[in-house]
Amino acid sequence: MSSVPENAPDHCPGTNSEDAGKASACAGCPNQQICSSGATKAPDPDLDAVKERLSSVKYKILVLSGKGGVGKSTVTAMIGRALALDESKEVGILDIDICGPSQPRVLGALEEKIHSSGAGWSPIYVGENLAVMSIGFLLNSKDDAVIWRGPKKNGMIKQFLRDVDWGTLDYMVVDTPPGTSDEHLSIVQYLSAAPPVAAIIVTTPQEVALLDVRKEITFCRKVNIPIIGIVENMTTFVCPKCKTETAIFPPTTGGGEQLAIDFDLPLLGRLPIDPRIAKACDHGENFLTEVPDSPATAAYKEVAKRIVEFCNVQS
Ligand code: ADP
């Protein structure tokens, strides 16, 4: 049967096509949004394989941001590290920021390469109970660029979800690209087959960041992903010498706090700027254990605690 709808524009790629909703012919078509969401496509036969693989992963947590540079990858890594402070839990970090994979560097695994076994791809262990998988491990050099179109990126995300041998995980924290792109639609499509899934939204206090975050919240609501809460990063700068707190990025429209009120979401934490975070991440060190007395460390731990509470209530 043809997958081209009756009211389709000329050159409609068909609702089952990888280009559905994305081809130039789709511009202006009333079905464009629904096609590009993937909702019209026949079920992917690999969904069952993903579901089977992820049945040993208890909670899947997507970390989202509207803009790049707000600290999403840093927050992802720190949440993973903070959750792994509980030695009774197994934690995995999945980096699907295909064009800008940061986790290998931030987690100190830059030189690692993936090994595969009969059970699938083995993730890299950066701690006793903390594993990571990133496209960064598959690149020949850290300066390689990934220049892929949507379908290829989606194929890689599927492979990550289907073929990585995580073993049993309590939490899988997923670092996503900024915005709402093909990668988000793919991961949501696959993870929705293996609930529970929830999201955390990272922003900085400025309106220019918040603007895009509102779209992220709308996206989550459209695809039925519950939002654990908002993390405001770079809220203030606390001078390490005089301890004076300064708002470097003034919250002209109320920052994360107002956003949380507007959307009726919890504000999970407000993370201060601490130059030692950037330094530790550049060196792949664990900031939480290296700088235990930083207010940022306390804030990260509090965010992790709230995530655990959310997950416990869900289960
Ligand atoms: P994104 O993933 O949103 O693009 P990153 O996590 O890569 O952002 O962060 C961008 C830069 O800001 C990195 O150098 C990171 O170390 C730094 N950074 C993030 N959060 C903080 C913070 N709270 N204090 C200091 N530096 C930070």
Question: Within a domain: residue 166?
Answer: yes
Percent of the chain with pLDDT over 90: 58
- For residues 114 and 186, state if they share a domain: yes
**What mean pLDDT comes out for the span 205-225?**
90
- For residues 31 and 161, state if they share a domain: no
pLDDT in tens, 42-87: 677 888 999 999 999 999 999 999 889 999 999 999 999 999 999 9
- For residues 35 and 112, state if they share a domain: no
Cβ < 6 Å from ligand 1: which residues? 65, 68-74, 102, 233-234, 271, 273-275, 277-278, 281, 296
- For residues 109 and 224, state if they share a domain: yes
Q: What string of H, E and C letters represents the secondary structure of the chain? A: CCCCCCCCCCCCCCCCCCCCCCCHHHCCCCCHHHHHCCCCCCCCCCHHHHHHHHHHEEEEEEEEECCCCCCHHHHHHHHHHHHCCCCCCCEEEEECCCCCCCHHHHCCCCCCCCEEECCEEECEEEECCEEEEEHHHHCCCCCCCCCCCHHHHHHHHHHHHHHECCCCEEEEEEECCCCCCHHHHHHHHHHCCCCCEEEEEEECCCHHHHHHHHHHHHHHHHCCCCEEEEEEEEEEEECCCCCCEECCCCCCCCHHHHHHHHCCCCEEEEEEECHHHHHHHHCCCCHHHHCCCCHHHHHHHHHHHHHHHHHHHHC
Residue nearest to atom 22 of ligand 1 (CA): 273
**What mean pLDDT comes out for the span 10-36?**
79
Question: Within a domain: residue 305?
Answer: yes
Question: Within a domain: residue 118?
Answer: yes
- For residues 139 and 265, state if they share a domain: yes
Say how many Å lie between the CA of residue 245 and the centre of ligand 1. 19
- For residues 23 and 105, state if they share a domain: no
Question: Within a domain: residue 6?
Answer: no
Indicate the pLDDT class of residue 8, thresholds 50, 70 and 90: low
Question: Within a domain: residue 81?
Answer: yes
The enclosing domain of 290 has a CATH number of 3.40.50.300
- For residues 151 and 251, state if they share a domain: yes
Residue 87 is predicted with a pLDDT of 97
Residue ranges making up the domain that contains 36: 16-45
- For residues 102 and 199, state if they share a domain: yes
Give, for ligand 1, the residue of 206, 281, 285 to mutate: max count of ligand atoms closer than 8 Å to Cβ. 281
Say whether pLDDT at 2 is over 50.
no
Atom of ligand 1 nearest to the CA of 65: 3
Question: Within a domain: residue 10?
Answer: no
- For residues 262 and 188, state if they share a domain: yes
Question: Within a domain: residue 133?
Answer: yes
Instruction: Please tell me the total count of domains within the chain.
Output: 2
Say whether pLDDT at 1 is over 50.
no
Question: Within a domain: residue 37?
Answer: yes
This prediction's pTM: 0.86
- For residues 154 and 165, state if they share a domain: yes
Say how many Å lie between the CA of residue 71 and the centre of ligand 1. 4
